Amino acid sequence: MYFLPSDAQNSDLIVPMNDDYCVGPAYNASYSPQLSERAYAGPWQGLTDLGLGLVERGLAHLQHSSLAPRTPHFGTKSEHFDILTMAKKLIPHLGRFSPLQQFAKPTLWHTDLHMGNIFVSEQDPTAIVNVIDWQFTSIMPAFMQIQWPSFLAPPDGYEIGAVKPKLPSNFEDMDTDEKAFAISERELALLSKCYEASLVKNHMESYLAMSQVDSAIRHLFMFAENTTKDGILPLRDCLTQLAANWNEMGIAEQCPYHITSEDLSKHKMELSRYKDWQKLKGYTQELLQTDDEGWISPQLDFEKVQTRHAELFQLYIEKETEDISEEEARRLWFYLENT
């Protein structure tokens, strides 16, 4: 949102809201469009226009990126180009898909809600008094905006809907550590259910956008501009899932993406390693109480965090070098600058 400029009538880069404000180009942490690239920054006229714009952002990143791999099976430059080109072919079909359009209402949403951005009252911890870090907030389709707050993210295998979280059927056969982990996972699932219930009660429209849209569609729009950051696997997995579910979704046109059984087997193997890497990254961040950028709360003892990081890194190197070279293992570590 911007102040309405005096020459608003002569610009196709803004949509006036009233006499004072307008909607203009979308800026975010990964994309700050230059004058020659503003066509990819919005405002967009519809879902197809948005999706194609996000792919073009991804292609612009690719053109100007040195493409330093930071994830397993990151992909070559030509592989990035090919997967983005295929996403570009799929998006018009999804943009015309009426069941998706009903959850594509333009929505202003804060997409980085974590404990560091939410301030509560000292007298009443249930009362939110301020939310900060709005600088990259954009208006996007509701199905892209709705997400779990990071502190309520459900555990693996979580089922949305009227499903009561339970302990595993083999709980009694587990050892002490396994039981403790299973209990903590169930507790997290119960908290997630509370959030679900609250969303149903207070904003059914958001709940439907979260629960009724195929996650592969949501992720396709979210990952299209970020292959130079995340690698090709997340976007390729979206395309693979959509191709598998295409007829079941009810899209009349033929799916433009096809994958051979051989390539599918290779993709599943690479995706498995990628997911293991992501889990390890998540566990590391939990233990260090940090995030993707390595931010450490001033309330923590920084030297102790550094010591713990060094210990975790050493354990990681010892384990990974059983299968890959130390050079590659170092390259794939999450905080390379600190090692």
Q: Tell me the pLDDT of the chain (339 aa) as tens digits.
A: 788 887 766 677 788 888 888 888 877 555 555 544 555 778 888 999 999 999 998 998 898 877 777 788 999 999 999 999 999 999 999 999 989 999 999 998 888 888 888 999 999 999 999 999 887 788 899 999 988 887 788 988 899 988 999 999 999 999 999 999 999 999 999 999 999 999 999 999 999 999 999 999 999 999 999 999 999 999 999 999 999 999 999 998 999 999 999 999 999 999 999 999 999 998 999 899 988 888 888 889 999 999 999 999 999 999 999 989 999 899 899 886 544
Domain assignment of residue 109, yes or no: yes
55 near 224, Cβ under 8 Å? Answer: yes
Does residue 325 belong to any structural domain of this protein?
no
Query: What is the per-residue pLDDT for 95?
Result: 94
Q: Where are the alpha helices (DSSP H) in 224-260?
A: 227-230, 233-249
Task: With respect to residue 160, please indicate whether it lies within any of the assigned structural domains.
Answer: no
Report if residue 232 sits inside a domain: yes
pLDDT at 35: 41
- Count of domains for the chain: 1
Backbone angles phi, psi at 241, to 5 degrees: -65, -45
Q: State pTM to two decimals.
A: 0.85
336, part of any domain: no
Whether residue 257 lies inside any domain: the answer is yes
Closest residue by Cα to residue 142 from 93, 108, 92, 113: 108
What is the pLDDT at residue 9?
A: 65
pLDDT at position 337? 56
The separation between CA 333 and the C-alpha centre of its own chain, rounded to angstroms, equals 20
Query: How crowded is the C-beta side of 16, counted as CA atoms within 13 Å?
Result: 11
Inter-residue contact 316 to 277 (CB < 8 Å): no
Provide the domain limits for residue 74. Answer: 2-154+196-287
Residue 333 lies in a domain: no
Domain presence at residue 63: yes
